[in-house]
């Protein structure tokens, strides 16, 4: 009898625990469902908040033919590109990628449809949005950003956030028109911050696994607060489609470029007149430095802003604007974000003394892209060299360092995908002669090259950064 009651109590206890377990699982499932529903509602709200400010951009212009029988003959064809953009101001200022609108003769902006009606009978098929003419106010090839303006007021817009606050694993949404599918949104995370794709390049990017495809270029990467932390710009892909390795221009770089393009239509890059190096253990040992990491100033431009502020060769840069400097790349990246005329505060260590010095940012003198905005593909194309050339005149002369000769042609831009003809020219080079015949302008340069056949020897006399040199090659 005791055994019976003992078994009975044991079974009742097991059933009670099982019931509580089932009840707990049911409660957990309901809670998980509620959390998922809340997440879905938040994403939907965020999408509805941002989407009205995301536009599709259509640009058309003339570009040299690079394929087929007419390739390399100077023939221009109308080309059309499609990308995305985001409105950052209620008066219709739109940021996008420079490669979306570069060379465009006409820019059109497709606004999204107006906010959906609350009517339960509304159609799922949205009507096409309103198409407006856009004006290209300026572009910056170095950051691959451009500013487009549409006429009107009261446009929905979103604000730029602080990309310095981006963290690996942070949830982000990418908006745009991938493959022409207007006003699409995808979700992912920040895969990495401050990605530098070229050695010593001050441009850095936010890496994300958010699906980005052709057509997303210029669209916003948005955080959970609805602020733009980046502008989608390119992907790394072996297939041509999204493989989860996309890159966005950080909003703190976008902000600087946006303000300058809005104000003057061009971007002036700033420097302070120093050469900064990363401290290595070997360098620290050789110089007897108190630390084996960080940044050391190895050269100071005489009379430059840093020199005037009191920075000296051998100073260790501890912080720049209160941010600890771990290497020279970080130092250059932080300077890159500043506009000409800004002040930066550098904390340096000299002879065991910490000094705080205010340094004014000056304009970089050798910006190679400063001529590109003056070139028009229909007038400045030198097809046999694959360049856009600008004839030197008094205005151009003021933009150059003192030249060794009066007349010539400045290489304003190199055309991507076009044959260089065998020449190894750089942006900013000045061409003085072809086969010892002086060329005073683009027309004379083009005429001299057109007389030559493929395989002909060519001798260019050029000036590059103050040095005159010859460049010999066979015309391809």
**Per-residue pLDDT at 91:** 93
Q: What is the secondary structure of 114-172 as a DSSP string?
A: PPPP--TT--SSPPP--EEEEEEEEEETTTTEEEEEES-S------B--GGG--TT-EE
383 is catalytic: no
47 is catalytic: no
Ordered by where they begin, the domains of the chain are 51-114+126-150 (2.40.10.10), 163-264 (2.40.10.10), 270-363 (2.30.42.10), 368-474 (2.30.42.10)
How close are the terminal C-alpha atoms of the chain, in Å? 106
- Please give the C-alpha separations between residue 52 and each of 83, 221, 226, 258, in angstroms, as whole numbers: 16, 15, 12, 20
Query: Does the pLDDT at position 150 exceed 90?
Result: yes
pLDDT above 90 covers what percent of the chain?
28
**pLDDT classification of 118: cutoffs 50, 70, 90:** very low
Report which secondary-structure segment, H or E, holds 380. helix 377-380
307 is catalytic: no
Query: Does the pLDDT at position 83 exceed 80?
Result: yes
Q: Residue 312 phi/psi, 5° resolution?
A: -125, 155
Q: What is the secondary structure of 382-443 as a DSSP string?
A: ETTTTEEEEE--HHHHHHSPPPSSS--EEEEEE-TTS--TT----TT-EEEEETTEE--SHH
**Which one from 84, 99, 191, 209 is the annotated catalytic residue?**
99
**pLDDT classification of 404: cutoffs 50, 70, 90:** confident
Instruction: Give start and end residues of each alpha helix (H) in 178-291.
Output: 251-264, 281-287
- Please give the C-alpha separations between residue 316 and each of 188, 344, 416, in angstroms, as whole numbers: 40, 16, 41
Do 82 and 101 touch, CB atoms closer than 8 A? no
**Per-residue pLDDT at 289:** 87
Half-sphere exposure (Cβ direction) of 102: Cα atoms closer than 13 Å: 21
Half-sphere exposure (Cβ direction) of 384: Cα atoms closer than 13 Å: 21
| pLDDT digits 0-9 by tens, 223-240 | 988 899 999 988 876 666
**Which one from 59, 81, 144, 184 is the annotated catalytic residue?**
144
CA 302 from chain centre, in angstroms, equals: 32
**Per-residue pLDDT at 72:** 45
3-state helix, strand, coil in the chain (%, to 5): 25, 35, 40
**Which one from 84, 163, 184, 217 is the annotated catalytic residue?**
217
**pLDDT classification of 365: cutoffs 50, 70, 90:** low
Lowest mean pLDDT among 20-34, 224-238, 340-354: 20-34
Q: Which range is most confident: 121-125, 177-181, 404-408?
A: 404-408
| pLDDT digits 0-9 by tens, 251-303 | 988 998 899 888 878 787 788 989 888 888 888 888 888 888 889 998 888 88
Report which secondary-structure segment, H or E, holds 468. strand 467-474
Nearest of 389, 256, 401, 394 to residue 334 by alpha carbon:
256
Measured CA to CA, the distance from residue 396 to residue 390 in angstroms comes to 8
Query: Does the pLDDT at position 70 exceed 50?
Result: no
Measured CA to CA, the distance from residue 74 to residue 382 in angstroms comes to 7
Measured CA to CA, the distance from residue 64 to residue 75 in angstroms comes to 6
Q: How many residues does the chain have?
A: 476
């Amino acid at each position: 009898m005791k055994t019976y009651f003992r078994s009975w109590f044991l079974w009742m206890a097991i059933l009670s625990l099982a019931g509580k377990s089932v009840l707990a699982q049911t409660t957990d499932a309901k809670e998980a469902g509620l959390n998922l529903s809340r997440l879905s509602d938040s994403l939907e709200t965020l999408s509805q908040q941002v989407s009205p400010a995301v536009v599709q951009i259509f640009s058309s212009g003339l570009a040299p033919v690079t394929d087929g029988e007419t390739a390399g003959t100077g023939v221009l064809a109308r080309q059309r590109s499609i990308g995305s953009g985001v409105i950052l101001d209620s008066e219709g200022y739109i940021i996008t990628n420079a490669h979306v609108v570069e060379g465009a003769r006409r820019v059109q902006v497709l606004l999204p449809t107006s906010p959906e009606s609350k009517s339960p009978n509304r159609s799922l098929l949205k009507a096409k949005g309103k198409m407006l003419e856009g004006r290209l106010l300026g572009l910056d090839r170095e950051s691959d950003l451009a500013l487009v303006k549409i006429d009107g007021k009261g446009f929905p817009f979103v604000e730029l956030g602080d990309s310095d606050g981006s963290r690996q694993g942070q949830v982000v949404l990418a908006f745009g028109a991938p493959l022409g599918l207007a006003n699409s949104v995808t979700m992912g995370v920040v895969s990495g911050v401050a990605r530098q794709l070229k050695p010593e390049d001050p441009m850095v990017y936010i890496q994300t696994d958010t699906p980005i495809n052709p057509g997303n270029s210029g669209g916003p990467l948005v955080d959970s607060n609805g602020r733009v932390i980046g502008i989608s710009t390119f992907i790394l892909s072996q297939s041509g489609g999204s493989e989860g390795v996309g890159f966005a221009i950080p909003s703190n770089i976008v902000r600087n470029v946006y303000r300058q393009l809005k104000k003057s239509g061009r971007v002036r890059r700033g420097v302070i007149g120093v050469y900064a190096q990363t401290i290595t253990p070997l360098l620290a040992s050789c110089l007897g430095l108190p630390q084996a990491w960080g940044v050391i100033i190895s050269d100071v431009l005489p009379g430059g802003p840093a020199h005037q502020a009191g920075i000296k060769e051998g100073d260790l840069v501890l912080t720049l604007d209160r941010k600890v400097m771990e290497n020279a790349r970080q130092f250059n990246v932080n300077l890159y974000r500043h506009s000409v005329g800004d002040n930066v505060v550098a904390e340096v260590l000299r002879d065991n003394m910490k000094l705080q010095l205010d340094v004014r940012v000056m304009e970089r003198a050798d910006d190679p892209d400063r001529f590109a905005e003056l070139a028009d593909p229909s007038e400045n194309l030198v097809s046999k060299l694959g360049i856009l050339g600008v004839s030197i005149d008094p205005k151009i002369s003021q933009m150059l360092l003192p030249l060794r000769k009066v007349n010539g042609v400045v290489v304003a831009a190199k055309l991507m995908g076009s044959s260089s003809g065998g020449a190894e020219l750089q942006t900013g080079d000045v061409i003085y002669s072809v086969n010892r015949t002086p060329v005073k302008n683009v027309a004379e340069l083009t005429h001299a090259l057109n007389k030559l056949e493929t395989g002909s020897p060519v001798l260019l006399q050029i000036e590059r950064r103050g040095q005159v040199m010859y460049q010999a090659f066979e015309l391809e």
